[in-house]
Amino acid sequence: MTAASPSAPLAPRVRAKASRDQWTLAAGLLAVAALLVAFVALPLYALLSKSFEDANGAFVGLANYAKFLETPALSASAANSLTISIITAVVTTALAFVYAYALTRSCMKARAFFKGLALLPLLAPSLLPGISLVYLFGNQGLLKSWMMGASIYGPIGIVIGEVFYTFPHALLILLTALSITDARLYEAADVLGAGAVRKFLTITLPGARYGLISAFFVVFTLVITDFGVPKVIGGNYNVLATDVYKQVVGRHDFQMGAVVGMILLLPALLAFAVDRFVQKRQVALLSARAVPFSPKPSPGFDAAMLAFCVLIAGIILALLGMAALASFVKLWPYNLEIVWKHYNFELTDGGSWASFWNSVEMSALTALFGTAIIFAGAYFVEKQKGFTRLRGAVQLLCMIPMAVPGLVLGVAYIFFFVDKANPLNVLYHTMAILVINTIAHFYTVAHLTAVTALKQMDPEFESVSASLKVPIWRTFRRVTVPVAMPAILDISLYLFVNAMTTVSAVVFLYAPDTTLASVAVLNMDDAGDVAPAAAMAMMIVYTCVVVRLLHALMSHAVLKRTQAWRRR
């Protein structure tokens, strides 16, 4: 038999008829695209265009940027921001590396406990360490003498506060980097007679280098865009993040606010690009046949690692404990009587219990709607086979929020929604805009969690369902969602906790009747009500801890019911 006869070049292309499932998926993808355009792309475009306009909306090119460079105060802030961010990134990455090393490579006791302690700062607003530092090292501070005459108000305070705030973020990245290693490499090194130092330098460090780079940039971005810590403890030391706040909220100079926002976007974009690059490389490090590493006891080393972890966890607990104590003590440090009065927020100007309940409501709505939208969105993107371009565009839109600092997104939202000509203007000053903004702000990580869970499922579920003539939505409900339930619960917890603690974006968007707990901390501290600010910050911590425990209970119950199949 000869090779197949040449195929007829003029044979008509088969135009596949779309099934109802394909229409469902296409409609879903379009809906997600529309939401992301309206609530991510267009606001950012508004920010971009505002930075090229004068106060009357006329195009002025780079004039605003030129003005930024000519204003000495602003360029000084830029220099300060860079200094603080680099120092914090170096310090946090180094400390978190040793801590992660202790947790993954030593046999010290209570590793799970120390991991839990180190992650506690995730449950607190970034304003909290600032307040604690004021109590410890401020003008009336317990340990003011430790400062040896230097002031905590300024770069020193900012760096300590930022290290506290960014430590768990760096730790999580480095834990991942250090836990994916191949034990066979160490065995080979042992056989070849390599010493401990040589093994560390030739295997451990190279293996973790992408994690280190990633952690450095993540911390750098968090610090340069955070304004919670510098606002509370920065004193006269100005940074870009507080400048945006001053320009927009204080001076209503939207153009300059937009310029500073655009400039803050640069390091974040750089960090984002580096992180993406690094993650692609990191994956390739571990082959399917790698053998997981398990550490061997070594008394001296284990003790040293334990001492280090006790020190770090102790500092974290001290800062949290200081805020808790401050919220109960009558008048620090003169009258240490335990009282409840600081929790009576109605006595302060900065906030009230209503703010707290607003925060709880906002976080609950964010968790509920955010989880539903993000998971469904990830499903539509993942299961879509056609519309390659639209799908690619939506995937890109899903990644953008990670590259946009909350502060920048908040400013962008004002510019976009305050505009009376915008039909979405009705959302301005509502609870809805706070929820939408928060979902958008934390979209990417939640999206990636959902995508990972979906990718772990057999890609042929939908094919099976189609061949059995079962509509895709039924398979989504009966199979996809139950199987992905652990990821769905994780997403909702992530959204709730972040909605509770975030300040950066919502500080621009709240209205008198939608003040939030985290914003109340800021305003109380501003007004000099530092003890109530500590009390409100602790309310956020308590709530997050309770929700975290609830999540653990719920996961357990749901897993027991829906994941019975996981047990053999």
CB-wise, 12 or 149, nearer to another protein? 12
CB-wise, 5 or 287, nearer to another protein? 5
Could you tell me which of 202, 176, 179 has the C-alpha nearest to residue 190?
A: 202
**Cα angle: 255, vertex 260, 261; to 5 degrees:** 90
What is the 8-class DSSP label of residue 59?
B
Q: How far is the CB of 460 from another protein (least distance, A)?
A: 4
CB of 132 within 8 A of CB of 319? yes
Could you tell me which of 486, 411, 399 has the C-alpha nearest to residue 443?
A: 399
CB-wise, 235 or 482, nearer to another protein? 482
Residue ranges of the alpha helices (H) in 226-293?
228-233, 240-245, 254-283
Burial of 20 (0-12, 13-18, 19+ CB in 10 A): exposed
CB-wise, 5 or 56, nearer to another protein? 5
Q: How far is the CB of 19 from another protein (least distance, A)?
A: 3
3-state secondary structure of 111: helix
What is the 8-class DSSP label of residue 349?
S
Q: How far is the CB of 369 from another protein (least distance, A)?
A: 25
Residue 102, CB-side half-sphere exposure with 13 Å CA sphere: 31
Q: How far is the CB of 396 from another protein (least distance, A)?
A: 22
CB-wise, 11 or 283, nearer to another protein? 11
CB-wise, 12 or 423, nearer to another protein? 12
What are the structure tokens assigned to 516, written together? 């939030």
Burial of 34 (0-12, 13-18, 19+ CB in 10 A): exposed
Q: How far is the CB of 1 from another protein (least distance, A)?
A: 5
Q: How far is the CB of 365 from another protein (least distance, A)?
A: 28
CB-wise, 51 or 465, nearer to another protein? 465
Q: How far is the CB of 217 from another protein (least distance, A)?
A: 36
Cα distance between residue 278 and residue 443, in whole Å: 21
CB-wise, 18 or 336, nearer to another protein? 18
Amino acid at site 368: L
Q: How far is the CB of 479 from another protein (least distance, A)?
A: 5
Could you tell me which of 183, 188, 175 has the C-alpha nearest to residue 290?
A: 183
Q: How far is the CB of 386 from another protein (least distance, A)?
A: 11
Binding site for another protein (CB under 8 A): 1, 3-8, 11-22, 458, 460-461, 463-471, 474, 478-479, 482-483, 562-568
CB of 422 within 8 A of CB of 42? no
CB-wise, 11 or 421, nearer to another protein? 11
Q: How far is the CB of 368 from another protein (least distance, A)?
A: 23
Phi-psi region of 244 (alpha: psi -120 to 50; beta: other; left: phi over 0): alpha
What are the structure tokens assigned to 291, written together? 């053998």
CB of 219 within 8 A of CB of 88? yes
Cα distance between residue 440 and residue 428, in whole Å: 16
CB-wise, 442 or 476, nearer to another protein? 476
CB-wise, 332 or 379, nearer to another protein? 379
φ/ψ of residue 291, rounded to 5? -105, 125
Could you tell me which of 363, 369, 380 has the C-alpha nearest to residue 450?
A: 380
Burial of 560 (0-12, 13-18, 19+ CB in 10 A): exposed
Q: How far is the CB of 9 from another protein (least distance, A)?
A: 10
